[in-house]
Amino acid sequence: MIFRFDHFREALKSPSERRNLRNGILFISPWLIGLFVFTAYPIIASFYWSFCLFDGFSPPVWVGTENYRLLLFEDAIFWKSLVNTLYMVFLALPVTLSFSLLLALLLNMKVKGLPFYRTILYLPSIAPVIAVSILWLWMLNPEYGLINHLLGFFGIDVVGWLIDPKLAKPALVIMGLWQVGGGVLIFLAGLQQVPAHLYEAAEVDGAGALRKFFHVTLPMLSPIIFFNLIMGIIGYFQYFTQAFVMTQGGPQDATLFYALHLFNKAFLDFQIGYSSAMAWLLFVLILFATSIVLRSAKKWVYYEGAGR
Amino acid sequence: MKTRKVTYSVLGHGMLIIMSLLFIIPFFWLVSSSLKADQEIFTRELRWLPSKFRWNNYREAIEYIPFLRYLSNTLIICFANVIGATLSCSLVAYGFSRIRWYGRDAMFVVLLSTMMISGVVTMIPVFRIFRGLGWIGTFLPLIAPSFLGSAFFIFLLRQFFMGIPLELSEAAIIDGCSELGIYARIILPLAKPALLTVALFTFLGHWNDFMGPLIYLTDNSKYTLAVGLQQFLGQHDAEWSKLMALSTLLILPVIVLFFFTQKTFVKGIALTGIKG
């Protein structure tokens, strides 16, 4: 795997090797250009800017770690946005994941009309976020929204979902539950690959439904739980559009998430250096969180054929 | 034992039906609200259906915003991306799977690792590149990146190309076919299902995209439906029936597309989840 120049030179002595190398590079050249323009240069630039005072117009001025210091010690809103974001990662994500697993288990019951149910549960997740946000803005309307109409039947009076700082985040979580379809399908595909003989063997040993779930289904599904968990962490750390459209961060900054704060700093305040520092910090946070999950994986993720 | 099984299945079925109902209700509310007159929208009593279907809401909503222009903008962006992504990703995937060259696998590791890099980090410099090119306010920043491939789709296609027997290529080389010829005449036709998955997800991704057009489109006449809808929300936030009508019009094509391509969808999702 490691590139060695002497091997490389040796390989290039044969004309067919040379031709293959030329063709290979030609075929991947679109991506190579993209790698430099859209990945390598931006990474270097934003890393440099994160140590600069830079408004995007006049040339960047080196200020060392000043941006990071301001961020960590002076920006109260930054901490608020971080706490809001961690709320989504630690509370919304587990709830969403368990809910999608539950739906996948229901779909896996070998019921008649599976494609029909599957379609219904999946469709909300591919609807455009902007349309979904507007629909839920209306559903959560305190006075005329459907949710409060329905709660009225249970004698619950007007709930100010998105205008109450305590309820704004839970409201977004509820909306998120409606859009779990992608994860459900991935779980379902995993459930369908669990070999039937494992369940049969467990039944012979006298295992009930609960035991079968915890001792067969969950271990066999753990690689997929792992995958969904990682994707969920990456996604929730960057939670943006719904808050941008529905609440603009309000009420009282209750839904001011990290990515939204970053967006405001970059595109409204033109604090390019500051927002680059924020972006790098977010990237480090995501890497840190995923690496913790990755490290814990040895203890709970079971790969068939890998032995234990 | 038997009765217990029956109980489980009845319970499961019941829950599935309840869940499906819960999932359908928002869609139902969307369409029903889009057809209501204002006095039925703003009422404290629950009305599932409008007393009279007010189809005029749709006509008025479409006339409120330059709907057809937004629609054609959106479609131009979507189709340009579909062409760009299928073309570039399949070429790159070919280079990563059907030709053996020195350093290929090391480069492939680089490709995989770029998937880890968060778009948040690259967003601002990329914006400035496009500004330097004078592309802000045009469709180009929303289209050009697709022509340079996307790591995820390249990965997906490469996995598919690896499964095509190498003998086919060898036979073609003996017949004097070039690599480009093998790519166009042998691999592409065989990879249609995988290409369709890429095309579908690309189309959907850009139909739904909000952040990209929000950042790059400055001129009202260049807006896509998603940004146009957000702008409409900002200006007329109490016109709920029209907002619902426009949202319905944005969601409907996605649903139609899904019904026509269900198999590709379900396979694609499962593929990405398990192989990813």
Q: Give the per-residue pLDDT at B163.
A: 86
Q: Give the per-residue pLDDT at A121.
A: 94
Amino acid at A159: V
Q: Give the per-residue pLDDT at B272.
A: 57
Phi-psi region of A168 (alpha: psi -120 to 50; beta: other; left: phi over 0): alpha
| pLDDT confidence band for B187 (50 / 70 / 90) | very high
Q: Give the per-residue pLDDT at A302.
A: 82
Report ipTM (2 d.p.).
0.89
Strand partners, A52: A62
By the CB < 8 Å criterion, does A111 face chain B? yes
Which of A21, A23, A134, A293 should be substituted to probe chain B, the one whose Cβ sees the most B Cβ atoms within 10 Å? A134
Kind plus residue range of the DSSP H or E element containing A53: strand A52-53
Indicate yes or no: CB of A43 within 8 angstroms of CB of B46. no
> pLDDT tens digits for B205-245?
999 999 999 999 999 999 999 999 999 998 887 889 999 99
Q: Give the per-residue pLDDT at B3.
A: 73
- Alpha-carbon span A31 to B33, nearest angstrom: 46
Which residues of chain A have a CB within 8 Å of the CB of B100? 20, 24
pLDDT over 90 (residue B166): no
Query: Which residue of A lies nearest to B251 if distances are taken between CA atoms?
Result: A127
**CB-based contacts of B41, cutoff 8 Å, min separation 6:** A144, B33, B240, B241
Shortest Cα–Cα distance, B122 to chain A (Å): 5
Q: Which of A154, A157, A301, A291 is CA-nearest to residue A224?
A: A301
Integer CA distances (angstroms), A126 to A241, B157, B246, in order: 15, 22, 17
Across the interface, of A8, A209, A279, the residue whose CB is closest to B102 is A8
Across the interface, of A139, A190, A228, the residue whose CB is closest to B29 is A139
Shortest Cα–Cα distance, A210 to chain B (Å): 12
Shortest Cα–Cα distance, B267 to chain A (Å): 9
Across the interface, of B42, B116, B125, the residue whose CB is closest to A46 is B125
Indicate yes or no: CB of B95 within 8 angstroms of CB of A25. yes
Contact, A282 vs A295, CB < 8 A? no
> pLDDT tens digits for B68-126?
999 999 999 999 999 999 999 999 999 999 999 988 989 999 998 888 787 888 999 99
Shortest Cα–Cα distance, A197 to chain B (Å): 18
- Alpha-carbon span A133 to A173, nearest angstrom: 12
Integer CA distances (angstroms), A205 to A198, A201, A215, A218, A294, in order: 11, 6, 12, 18, 33
| pLDDT confidence band for B160 (50 / 70 / 90) | confident
- Alpha-carbon span A6 to A33, nearest angstrom: 26
Alpha carbons within 13 A on the beta-carbon side of A100: 28
Per DSSP, helices labelled H in chain B are 2-34, 38-41, 56-64, 67-97, 104-114, 119-132, 140-143, 151-162, 166-174, 179-182, 188-190, 192-208, 211-216, 225-235, 240-260, 262-275
Contact, B245 vs B34, CB < 8 A? yes
Contact, B67 vs B221, CB < 8 A? no
| pLDDT confidence band for B275 (50 / 70 / 90) | very low
- Alpha-carbon span B133 to B78, nearest angstrom: 22
Kind plus residue range of the DSSP H or E element containing A61: strand A61-62
Q: Quick one: what percent of chain B has pLDDT higher than 90?
A: 64
Query: Which residue of A lies nearest to B117 if distances are taken between CA atoms?
Result: A283
CATH class of B61-271: mainly alpha
Q: Tell which A residues from 169 to 228 touch B, by Cβ distance under 8 Å.
A: 178, 182, 185-186, 188-190, 193, 209, 224, 227-228
The mean pLDDT value of chain B amounts to 90
Which of A28, A37, A122, A244 should be substituted to probe chain B, the one whose Cβ sees the most B Cβ atoms within 10 Å? A28
Domain locations in chain B as residue ranges: 2-56, 61-271
Angle between helices B151-162 and B104-114 (to 10 degrees): 140
Q: Give the per-residue pLDDT at B7.
A: 80
Across the interface, of A30, A46, A134, the residue whose CB is closest to B122 is A46
pLDDT over 80 (residue B177): yes
How many beta-carbon pairs below 8 A join chains A and B?
254
Mean pLDDT highest for which of A241-250, B1-10, B25-34, B114-123?
Answer: B25-34
Q: State phi, psi for B25 to the nearest 5 degrees.
A: -55, -45
Contact, B16 vs A117, CB < 8 A? yes
Which residues of chain B have a CB within 8 Å of the CB of A129? 208, 210
Higher pLDDT, B212 or B13: B212
Indicate yes or no: CB of B16 within 8 angstroms of CB of A118. no
Q: Give the per-residue pLDDT at B264.
A: 76
Can you list the domains of chain A with their CATH numbers? 5-67 (no CATH), 76-300 (1.10.3720.10)
Q: State phi, psi for A8 to the nearest 5 degrees.
A: -60, -45
Shortest Cα–Cα distance, A134 to chain B (Å): 7
pLDDT beneath 50, residues of chain A: 1, 307-308
Three-state secondary-structure class, residue B87: helix
- Alpha-carbon span B137 to B221, nearest angstrom: 10
Across the interface, of A30, A123, A135, the residue whose CB is closest to B149 is A30
Which residues of chain A have a CB within 8 Å of the CB of B24? 120
Which of A10, A135, A192 should be substituted to probe chain B, the one whose Cβ sees the most B Cβ atoms within 10 Å? A135
Indicate yes or no: CB of B92 within 8 angstroms of CB of A27. yes
> What's the rounded mean pLDDT across residues B35-54?
88
Indicate yes or no: CB of A126 within 8 angstroms of CB of B266. no
**CB-based contacts of A190, cutoff 8 Å, min separation 6:** A104, A220, A221, A223, A224, B273, B274
Q: Given CA atoms B25, B30, B35, B38 in this order, what sign does their dihedral have?
A: positive
